[in-house]
Structure formats: C-alpha cells, structure tokens
C-alpha cells in the first residue's frame, strides 16, 4: 500500500495511486485506503477534489466493456468528516475483499455455464466425418468432465452462501471457492474454445470473450497463487508468502 495519509490540522492529506480500479473515471466518490501514523485508515473521497485524477486504462484484451482506471492522489485534502470512523487497520479493506471474492465464486460459474451450453449446442450441430461432434468419445469426455466441474463448483458456492447467511463463513473458505471456481471456469472456457475449433475465436460465439475475461478474474481480488498460499497457511499454520 503506497498511498499515505497525514494529518494537517482538522484535515487529512492523501498522496498515492492505485491501478486497475473499475469505474474510477466515472464515479463521484472513491473509497481510498491509506497508511497513516495511526495505521491503515479509510476515506470516502469525492473525485472532484483538487489533486484527484483517474486516467483510464486503454488497450485491454480482457473486460473491454468495463471502464478501468488508475486513481492518482496528489496532495488531496479531505476533512476529518470524510474518514471512515470505524475502518481501522487492514480488517476493513480485507472484509471488503472477502465479500467480493464470494461473489466472484458465483460469477465464474455463470461464465463457465455459458461456455458449456454453447459448446454442447455447437457439438450437437457440428457434423464431423458424417456425424455430430457430440457423438465422438473425446467430445463426450470433455463435456462430462466440464459438467462435473461446474456442478462441484455450484455445490461449493451454495454451501459457502449458506455458511455466509449463518455468519459462519471464513475468509479461507471464500479463498477456496474463488480459487477453485475461477480456475475451473477458465479451464472450461479453454476446453470449449478448443471444441469450437476455429469458431472458438470468432466474435459470433461467446466462448472467446468469456475466456479472455476470466484471465482477468483469475488475477483480480487475489491471484490463484495467493489464494493457494492462504489455504496452505490455514491448513499448516505455517505462512509461506515469502
């Protein structure tokens, strides 16, 4: 965390930047986390304040319909009233990440299911050597493996959701669901693209779009490797982050 906050009378001065912020150039308020002498603090920062800018990130292969920005804060002055009063330390931002990750576990399932449905329909209509592609053993194995992976991911997300409703879900359980379901969905998308052959890279089909978007999803809100280490830490009680 390179963004800092320092007191100046009754105000705070924010300096720093953060990449890859969704809707950063169109939002009216940014939630900013910064390091202060007292520890991590959170602020609700109006984006029209002097010193605040949000240049948009261009030339993306993934999530092209999403506005992605960099937040830049240069001596941005905010009053004490804009500090989030109960957000102290890393707990508050990490709670936000945990909530987002549980949603991602569900969203990845939607992308996987969309790819699977398209590949299944395509394989029934595509005629290869006189019969539908779906009638070949390799195609059926791929479909069976993908259907199994999606179903297991659905059961994991459902169980996590019920634990969350009961107030018993843990961050490590969320990490497991995000890690598993996004990885599974990306594998499904790649397999479906393969089943569609050259049509898999055509804009007439949605598999390629989902595949590229999932390349971002497996990175944001904690990479696959970071969630792997989080689970390893939980299982062994031995941190291996460095």
Active site residues: 221
SS3 240: coil
Place of tokens 């969704």: 22
CA gyration radius for the chain?
A: 22
3-state SS class at 103: helix
Q: Count Cα atoms within 13 angstroms, Cβ side, for 57.
A: 20
- Residue 52 CA to chain centroid, in angstroms? 25
Q: Residue 67 contacts by C-beta under 8 Å, 6 or more apart in sequence?
A: 22, 23, 24, 25, 26, 56
- Judge contact between 152 and 187, C-beta under 8 A: no
């Amino acid at each position: 965390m390179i963004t800092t906050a320092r007191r100046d009378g009754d105000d705070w001065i924010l300096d720093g930047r953060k990449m890859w912020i969704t809707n950063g150039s169109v939002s009216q308020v940014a939630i900013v986390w910064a390091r202060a002498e007292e520890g991590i603090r959170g602020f609700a920062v109006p984006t029209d304040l002097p010193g605040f800018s949000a240049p948009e990130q261009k030339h993306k292969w993934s999530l092209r319909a999403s506005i992605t920005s960099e937040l830049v804060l240069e001596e941005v002055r905010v009053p004490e009233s804009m500090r989030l009063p109960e957000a102290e330390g890393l707990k508050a931002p990490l709670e936000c990440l945990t909530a987002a990750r549980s949603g991602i576990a569900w969203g990845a399932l939607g992308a996987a299911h969309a790819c699977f449905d398209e590949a299944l329909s395509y394989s029934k209509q595509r005629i290869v050597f006189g019969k539908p592609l779906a009638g070949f053993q390799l195609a059926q194995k791929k479909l069976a493996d993908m259907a199994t992976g999606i179903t297991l991911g659905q059961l994991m997300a459902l169980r996590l959701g019920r634990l969350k409703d009961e107030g018993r879900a843990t961050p490590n359980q969320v990490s497991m669901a995000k890690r598993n379901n996004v990885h599974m969905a990306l594998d499904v998308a790649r397999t479906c693209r393969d089943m569609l052959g050259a049509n898999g890279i055509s804009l007439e089909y949605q598999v390629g779009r989902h595949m590229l978007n999932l390349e971002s999803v497996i990175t944001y809100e904690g990479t696959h490797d970071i969630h792997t280490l989080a689970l390893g830490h939980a299982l062994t009680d031995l941190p291996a982050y460095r």
